[in-house]
Amino acid sequence: MSIDVPERPDTPCVAVCSTTFDEICRGCGRSVLEVANWVFMTAAEKNNVWERITAEGYPRRKG
C-alpha cells in the first residue's frame, strides 16, 4: 500500500510574517490578501500562488 505524500507543505508560511508592515510577506512572498484568504482558495488558486512565489525565490526558509 502506498501513501501519497504532498510535494510541498499545505501553506508557504515560514513563520516570518511581515504583512503587518509589507504588502508582500518577506517570508513566504504572498500578498496580504493571499495570506488572509489562503484557507478559502481552491487548489488551482493555491497552485498558481505556489508557482509564482517559488519562481520569485520564496518561501525563504532558514537552514
What digits encode the pLDDT tens for the residues 21-61? 999 999 999 999 999 999 999 999 999 999 999 999 999 87
- How far CA 21 is from CA of 7, 15, 31, 47, in Å, comes to 30, 15, 11, 25
pTM score: 0.82
Q: Within 13 A of 22's CA, how many CA atoms are on the CB side?
A: 12
Residue 13 has pLDDT above 60, yes or no: yes
Question: What string of DSSP letters covers 6-55?
Answer: -SS-S----S---TTT-SB-TTT--BHHHHHHGGGS-HHHHHHHHHHHHH
